[in-house]
Chains A and B, each alone.
Chain A
Amino acid sequence: GAVVSQHPSWVICKSGTSVKIECRSLDFQATTMFWYRQFPKQSLMLMATSNEGSKATYEQGVEKDKFLINHASLTLSTLTVTSAHPEDSSFYICSAGTGATDTQYFGPGTRLTVL
């Protein structure tokens, strides 16, 4: 149980385009979803926390207008990287849980490469 999927697993796009990444909890209802970014040989950095039906809370330094997060249902959250640039190339990982302090279950990650 407690499976989280991400789609796509790998995406390559041109600079200036927008990319949407989906995060789904397959067998449980996730009231809270988290989005992380991981650069090569770096730790995971929390970008934002989203609760179903409400606006996401962004970490300091993360541009909310660039990284749009939607958590419209208890099983789906999306991260849209708008007007992507090469410096946005990274590994994006989501996690889902039934509450902020409950166990987070991590997705397999999405590798974004912006040319």
Chain B
Amino acid sequence: KQEVTQIPAALSVPEGENLVLNCSFTDSAIYNLQWFRQDPGKGLTSLLLIQSSQREQTSGRLNASLDKSSGRSTLYIAASQPGDSATYLCAVLNQAGTALIFGKGTTLSVSS
């Protein structure tokens, strides 16, 4: 059974810092991995999607890496801003495409 773990559960940083969020998964047989952002009481915004054959994806200040063999992904946020404050969710799609398994998320707080 696929399990997705995110560390840390919560993170507080001052504005301007670079930071790394970690995601690990137990079954390396995945189709893709996605990072989402969720604001309180809101739905999900897709940030980055990495196919199983890819190693990383970048969008603006965000960079996500994938090491499928070790079951790990990291989300790197450069020059953090207060607007980055949210919960970041990692999710893996199984190879059959029948289930998207989410981690519990990392709640990020960036202070000005």
Residues of A near any B CB (own CB < 8 A) = 6, 34, 41-46, 49, 57, 59, 91, 93, 95, 99-101, 103-109, 111
Give chain B nearest CB distance to A39 CB in angstroms. Answer: 11
B residues in contact with A111, CB < 8 Å: 41
- Which of A42, A91, A103 is in CB contact (< 8 Å) with B104? A42
Bound CA–CA A108/B44 (angstroms): 7
Residue on A nearest B95 in the bound complex, by CB: A101
**B43 and A109 contacting across the interface, CB-CB below 8 Å:** yes
The answer to whether A108 touches B97 (Cβ under 8 A) is: no
**Beta-carbon nearest neighbor of A101 in chain B:** B97
User: For B101, what are the chain A residues with a Cβ–Cβ distance below 8 Å?
Assistant: 46
Q: List 25 A-B contacts (CB under 8 A).
A: A34-B100, A42-B104, A43-B102, A43-B105, A44-B44, A44-B102, A45-B102, A46-B99, A46-B101, A49-B98, A57-B98, A59-B99, A91-B41, A93-B44, A95-B100, A99-B97, A100-B97, A100-B98, A103-B46, A105-B46, A106-B36, A106-B43, A106-B44, A108-B42, A109-B42
**Contacts A99-B97, A100-B96, A100-B97; is A41 near B43 (CB within 8 Å)?**
no
* Size bracket of the B interface: 20 to 34
Report the minimum CB–CB distance from A111 to chain B (whole Å).
7
Complex Cα–Cα for A91 and B100 (A): 17
Query: Which residues of chain A have C-beta atoms less than 8 A from B102's C-beta?
Result: 43-45
B89 at the interface (CB under 8 A from A): yes
In the complex formed, the residue of B with least CB distance to A45 is: B102
Q: Does B49 contact A (CB under 8 A)?
A: yes
Q: With the chains together, A21 CA to B35 CA distance in Å?
A: 26
Say yes or no for B76: interface residue by CB 8 A criterion.
Answer: no
Residues of A within 8 A of B100 (CB): 34, 46, 95, 104
Least CB distance, A10 to chain B, in whole angstroms: 9
Q: Is B21 an interface residue (CB 8 A)?
A: no
Q: How far is the CA of A36 from the CA of B46 in the complex (A)?
A: 16
Are A107 and B89 in touch, CB under 8 angstroms? no
- On whether the beta carbons of A43 and B43 are closer than 8 Å, the reply is no
| Chain B residue, CB-CB nearest to A4 | B43
Contacts of A103 in B (CB 8 A): 46, 49
